[in-house]
Amino acid sequence: MSSDTNAFQRPAMGSGGKSTQDAWFQRALALAGASVLIILAAMLISTAMNAWPVFTHSGWSFITSSDWDPGISRTEITGSYGALSFILGTLITSTIALLIAVPLAIGCSLYLTQIARPSIGRPLAYAVDLLAAVPSVVYGLWGLLFFVPIFVRPMIKVIADTVGEAVPFLGSPVVTYNYATAGIVLAIMVLPIITAVTREVMLNTPIAEIQGAYALGSTRWEMIRAIVLPRARPGIIGATMLGLGRALGETVAVAMLIGGSQRMPTSLFQGGQSMAGVIAITFQEASPENVKALLGVGVVLFVITVLVNMAARLVIWATGGRVAGDAAV
Segment 225 to 254, residues that bind other proteins, using CB under 8 A: 242, 245-246, 248-252
**For the chain, how many residues are written?**
329
**Tally of CB atoms within 10 A around 19:** 6
User: Which residues are CB-neighbours of 113 under 8 A, at least 6 positions away?
Assistant: 121, 199, 202, 203, 205, 228
Of the candidate spans 62-70, 125-133, 160-168, 232-240, the one that interacts with other proteins by CB under 8 A turns out to be 125-133
Q: Does 147 help bind other proteins (rule: CB under 8 A)?
A: yes
Kindly report the backbone phi and psi dihedral angles of residue 170, in degrees, each rounded to the nearest multiple of 5, phi listed first: -115, 15
Q: Which is nearer to other proteins, 136 or 172 (CB)?
A: 136
Q: Does 268 help bind other proteins (rule: CB under 8 A)?
A: no
Q: Does 28 help bind other proteins (rule: CB under 8 A)?
A: yes
Which position among 239, 279, 293, 315 is part of the footprint of other proteins (CB under 8 A)?
279
Q: Does 155 help bind other proteins (rule: CB under 8 A)?
A: no
Give 49: exposed, middle or buried? Use CB within 10 Å, 0-12, 13-18, 19+. Answer: exposed
Backbone dihedral region for residue 133 (phi beyond 0: left; psi -120 to 50: alpha; all else: beta): alpha
Q: Does 306 help bind other proteins (rule: CB under 8 A)?
A: yes
Q: Does 294 help bind other proteins (rule: CB under 8 A)?
A: yes
Which position among 162, 222, 233, 318 is part of the footprint of other proteins (CB under 8 A)?
222
The Cα-based distances of 314 to 34, 116, 214, 230, 239 in angstroms read 20, 30, 33, 19, 11
Any idea of the CA torsion for 116, 237, 190, 132, to the nearest 10 degrees?
A: -60
DSSP string, 184-201: HHHHHHHHHHHHHHHHHH
The Cα-based distances of 248 to 1, 149, 213, 327 in angstroms read 70, 24, 39, 17
Q: Does 200 help bind other proteins (rule: CB under 8 A)?
A: no
Beta bridge partners of 259: 272
Q: Does 215 help bind other proteins (rule: CB under 8 A)?
A: no
Residues 68-97 that bind other proteins (CB under 8 A): none
Which position among 73, 76, 103, 155 is part of the footprint of other proteins (CB under 8 A)?
103
Of the candidate spans 52-60, 69-77, 108-116, 163-171, the one that interacts with other proteins by CB under 8 A turns out to be 108-116
**Maximum CA pair distance of the chain?**
100
Which position among 63, 144, 175, 237 is part of the footprint of other proteins (CB under 8 A)?
144
Q: Which is nearer to other proteins, 14 or 173 (CB)?
A: 14
Q: Are 161 and 172 in contact (CB under 8 A)?
A: yes
Size of the site for other proteins (CB under 8 A): 105
Q: Which is nearer to other proteins, 30 or 163 (CB)?
A: 30
Kindly report the backbone phi and psi dihedral angles of residue 15, in degrees, each rounded to the nearest multiple of 5, phi listed first: -85, 135
**Tally of CB atoms within 10 A around 183:** 24
How far is the first Cα of the chain from the last one, in angstroms, to the nearest whole number?
56
Q: Does 313 help bind other proteins (rule: CB under 8 A)?
A: yes
Q: Does 175 help bind other proteins (rule: CB under 8 A)?
A: no
- Tell me how far, at minimum, the Cβ of 72 lies from other proteins, in Å: 17
- Tell me how far, at minimum, the Cβ of 196 lies from other proteins, in Å: 12
Which position among 65, 220, 234, 261 is part of the footprint of other proteins (CB under 8 A)?
220
- Tell me how far, at minimum, the Cβ of 111 lies from other proteins, in Å: 4
Q: Does 42 help bind other proteins (rule: CB under 8 A)?
A: yes
Which position among 195, 205, 270, 273 is part of the footprint of other proteins (CB under 8 A)?
195
